[in-house]
Amino acid sequence: MIDLRNKKIGIENGMWDNYGLDCFRNCPQYYEWRIVKGVIKPGAKRTSADFGSGIHLALEHFYKNKMSPASIPEAVEKFVQFFQPKVDPADEKRTLVKGVELLEKYFNRYKSEPFDVTATEIGGVVELGDYLYTFRIDLLVEWQSPKGLFGVDHKTTSSINRVVAKPNNQITGYIYGLSEMYGEEVLGYILNSIGVYKEDEEIDKNAPKVISPKTGKLVYAKKEREIFIRSITSRTKKELMDWKQETLHLISQIKRCHEEDVWPKHTNFCSAFSSKCQYLDLCQSQDKDILQTMIDIGIYEQSWWQPYVGEGEDEEEGK
């Protein structure tokens, strides 16, 4: 059994996960900073990631206890205990009250499921050509009819309608890993998206306009916002083999960057997710020694990405 707790992702150990590969897909220079050199910015706000982690803990408890009614208040309490010390008063979307309300709505919506729980928080490592691919999924379930296994990923997001289940490198990688472990029992994957918003309503542009009681002008009506969407997806054997071939090709590109010490900058990623990249200061500098200087004065620090000891990822970036 491979001990994954102390393994670093990358060429050195010949082991990969979706997060590390996505770093390179988004920007090779970002990959060098985060994966090769282990650079992070300390003290950055993590409210979105912490909120998502709290929701994950609650759902893990609920499903681990076979969705029993007694586990619901316990699950909510686990969220409260985890997230209460991490609340950011300036964040009006991710509050303690909203988190509790979201969980109550979730448990009411999904009080009866068409599956039986097989396991929660599953980690695995499978062969990927000459390399290893490691993954961890939130939930493994057995669908009642037709019989078969589905992986489930809980995703908190403020852009629920933008979530795409296929194509999706992360989900395809998970299905590949599960298929290597369980064979043809695996039917597919469920992306369990949970919307996190400041308001419970949104503009309905498909409905006729109505007169605003405040201004007397015609405005779009509002409708209740959809906050729960489950996308059930599957992959053919060809799609899994295509993913494997593309991933191995990507790794060959990473290997070449290592060998030539050339890390191209994908500058369209500098302002991805409506914020500036945490490495923008480093990329703007021409001083080769600037990283060590910034580490010395505390602007950056080194913390190697390890899938099972990682600091977590932003809700918009995925797991």
Supply the pLDDT for residue 312: 45
Supply the pLDDT for residue 6: 67
Supply the pLDDT for residue 266: 96
β-bridge partners, 11:
none
Question: Could you count the other beta carbons within 10 Å of the beta carbon of residue 91?
Answer: 14
What lies within 8 Å, CB to CB, of 1 at 6+ separation is none
pLDDT, tens digit (0-9, with 9 covering 90-100), for 81-137: 999 999 999 999 999 999 999 999 999 999 889 999 999 998 889 999 999 999 999
Supply the pLDDT for residue 313: 45
Domain boundaries, the chain: 10-44+251-312, 46-112, 113-235
Q: Which residues of the chain have pLDDT under 70?
A: 1-6, 44-45, 308-319
Q: Considering only CA atoms, which of 6, 121, 134, 17 is closest in space to residue 62?
A: 121
Supply the pLDDT for residue 306: 81
Q: What letter would DSSP give residue 273? A: G
For 105-157, the DSSP string reads: HHHHHTSS-SEEEEEEEEEEEEEETTEEEEEEEEEEEEETTTTEEEEEEEEEE
